[in-house]
């Protein structure tokens, strides 16, 4: 549902909003919800005390949390960029590659082991992404591939 809403909002006519603004608003909303849940978890303590003890007392832990947060912000900006230029089905399947990269990094960097069924699921996911990518290419009159634009027209890749 999110992908369809994003696609619609990025492809309708009229003034276009900045994707970075949408990402900042979304991240701010997540921060607010996280702080509310943290305060609820630590009921009985003051809000400032909870922030000091859980967030600011361990600067190394704070830096460790900032790295993935920054990467997710970049990823979300790129998601809006991709949604503006890809059809919804292709975007949704490519977006699922996050699962593959997360699995590979958890195996390579964290030393986790995946069950054979999990590896099989990852293979099926990659095959699905590949099939959608190849089916989105059409042969043009001269045999050169054409890619569908956001507005539904096709453009020859040799132009």
Give the number of other CB atoms < 10 A from CB of residue 6. 19
For residue 73, the model assigns a pLDDT of 85
Is pLDDT larger for residue 10 or for residue 25? 25
Give me the chain's average pLDDT, please: 77
For residue 49, the model assigns a pLDDT of 87
For residue 63, is pLDDT > 70? yes
Is pLDDT larger for residue 132 or for residue 58? 58
Give the number of other CB atoms < 10 A from CB of residue 19. 19
For residue 120, the model assigns a pLDDT of 92
Q: Please answer whether residues 144 and 157 qualify as being in contact, where contact means their C-beta atoms are separated by less than 8 angstroms.
A: yes
Angle (nearest 5°) at CA 119 between 116 and 120: 85
pLDDT > 90 fraction of the chain, expressed in percent and rounded: 6
H helices of 1-109, where? 2-11, 19-41, 47-51, 59-85, 88-95, 97-108
φ and ψ at 86, to 5 degrees?
A: -120, 155
CA 81 to chain centre: 11
For residue 16, the model assigns a pLDDT of 77
Q: Which residues pair with residue 155 across a beta bridge?
A: 147
**Least reliable range by pLDDT among 36-45, 97-106, 128-137, 141-150:** 141-150
For residue 7, is pLDDT > 50? yes
- The H-or-E segment that residue 131 falls in is helix 116-136
Q: What is the largest CA-CA distance in the chain?
A: 72
* Residue 64 to residue 68: CA distance in whole angstroms: 7
For residue 137, the model assigns a pLDDT of 59
Instruction: Work out the pLDDT band at 102, boundaries 50, 70, 90.
Output: confident
Q: Which of 116, 73, 136, 125 is nearest to 97 (CA)?
A: 125
- pTM, 2 dp: 0.58
Cα within 13 Å of Cα(103), Cβ side: 18
pLDDT digit string, tens, across residues 75-86: 888 888 888 788
pLDDT digit string, tens, across residues 110-158: 889 999 999 998 888 888 777 776 776 544 444 444 444 555 555 554 4
């Amino acid at each position: 549902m999110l992908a369809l809403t994003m696609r619609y909002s990025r492809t309708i006519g009229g003034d276009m909003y900045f994707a970075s603004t949408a990402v900042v608003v979304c991240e701010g909303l997540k921060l607010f919800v996280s702080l509310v849940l943290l305060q609820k978890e630590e009921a009985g303590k003051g809000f400032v005390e909870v922030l000091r003890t859980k967030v600011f007392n361990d600067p190394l832990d704070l830096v460790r949390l900032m790295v993935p947060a920054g990467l997710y912000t970049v990823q979300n900006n790129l998601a809006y960029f991709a949604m503006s230029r890809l059809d919804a089905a292709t975007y949704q399947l490519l977006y699922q590659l996050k699962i593959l990269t997360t699995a590979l990094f958890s195996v390579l960097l964290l030393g986790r082991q995946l069950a054979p069924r999990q590896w099989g699921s990852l293979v099926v996911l990659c095959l699905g992404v590949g099939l959608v990518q190849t089916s989105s290419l059409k042969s043009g009159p001269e045999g050169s591939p054409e890619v569908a634009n956001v507005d539904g027209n096709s453009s020859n890749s040799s132009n």
